[in-house]
Amino acid sequence: MAALILALSGWTAFTLLERLQRGKDQETATAQPEPDRRVEGFIVQARKHLDSGELDDAQEHFQKASGLADNDVRVLEGLALVEVMRAERTWWELMFGKHDHERRTKLLKKLDGEVERARAAVERSLEKSKDPGIHSRLDLAADRLNAMQVVALGLHGDVDRARTALKQLSGHPQKKLIREFVVTVGQSRPQEEEDAGAEIKAPVAKAPGAKPAPGTPHYELDHEPKHLPKTPDELEIPQPAPDPE
């Protein structure tokens, strides 16, 4: 009997504990807010704009989603990719647009600012996310940023900054090629600077009757022939040998 009472008491205690725990779980589930469907809608629209290159519209929708779920890793990744693509757009304009030196300098300054903002957005997203897919995409985006900046600086002639930016290239698949580019630009710069600093001398007219330097081709209009050859003999063209009979 004592054993039965102990067993019933244990079963009752277990049942009460289970119900209490179940009630707590239900209260916790009820207390958690349901996902806002508006966030999903904003993210879907933002990604469509991003795929179409409409960066301002994509950023606007990602920011609306951020206002409802500021720690959503998809939103943070989207905002980072917007900044990366904005810097990339400036880079393409800098590389292939027809600009004078002043315009190229302004574009390079603009690119520097956009690269810094994009890096900050990428780092912020990586800190909040543990998704390996997001990390892989953003790591690749960061390498693209660094590569763009290295090439832009090298072509603009700022080799020292290009070498510094080159150190930030970690897993870029074309790191070796980009490094060789920076080395080549650095080797050609001293000769270019020397040529740029050399004094340009205007050609000096020679006095009439002056003799040319030895080895220098010299032509006089007065030496043109008066008689132009007309026959093969005058031209000294070899004639074919007659066929043997």
What would the pLDDT profile of 32-47 be if each residue is shown by its tens digit? Answer: 455 578 999 999 999 9
In a domain, 210, yes or no: no
In this structure, what DSSP letter does residue 216 have?
Answer: -
**pLDDT computed for residue 40 by the predictor:** 93
Residues 57 and 127 in one domain: no
Question: Kindly report the CA angle at 241 between 237 and 245, in degrees rounded to 5?
Answer: 160
Is residue 116 within 8 A of residue 80, CB to CB? The reply is: no
Question: Kindly report the CA angle at 173 between 170 and 175, in degrees rounded to 5?
Answer: 60
Residues 56 and 133 in one domain: no
Residues 93 and 137 in one domain: yes
Q: Which residues of the chain have pLDDT under 50?
A: 1-20, 24-25, 27-32, 191-205, 219, 221
In a domain, 118, yes or no: yes
Residues 175 and 111 in one domain: yes
Tell me how far apart the alpha carbons of residues 180 and 78 are, in angstroms, rounded to a whole number: 33
Q: Can you give the residue range of the structural domain that contains 147?
A: 84-191
For the chain, how many structural domains are there in total?
A: 2
In a domain, 77, yes or no: no
Residues 187 and 97 in one domain: yes
In a domain, 49, yes or no: yes
In a domain, 213, yes or no: no
Residues 171 and 90 in one domain: yes
**pLDDT computed for residue 202 by the predictor:** 43
Q: Give 166: exposed, middle or buried? Use CB within 10 Å, 0-12, 13-18, 19+.
A: buried
Tell me how far apart the alpha carbons of residues 68 and 36 are, in angstroms, rounded to a whole number: 8
Which of 143, 160, 191 is the C-terminal boundary of a domain? 191
Residues 59 and 89 in one domain: no
The residues, any chain, with a CB within 8 Å of residue 48's CB and separated by 6 or more, are none
pLDDT in tens, 123-179: 999 999 999 999 999 988 888 888 888 888 888 888 888 888 877 776 677 778 888
**pLDDT computed for residue 16 by the predictor:** 39
Residues 181 and 155 in one domain: yes
Residues 187 and 88 in one domain: yes
In a domain, 14, yes or no: no
In a domain, 147, yes or no: yes
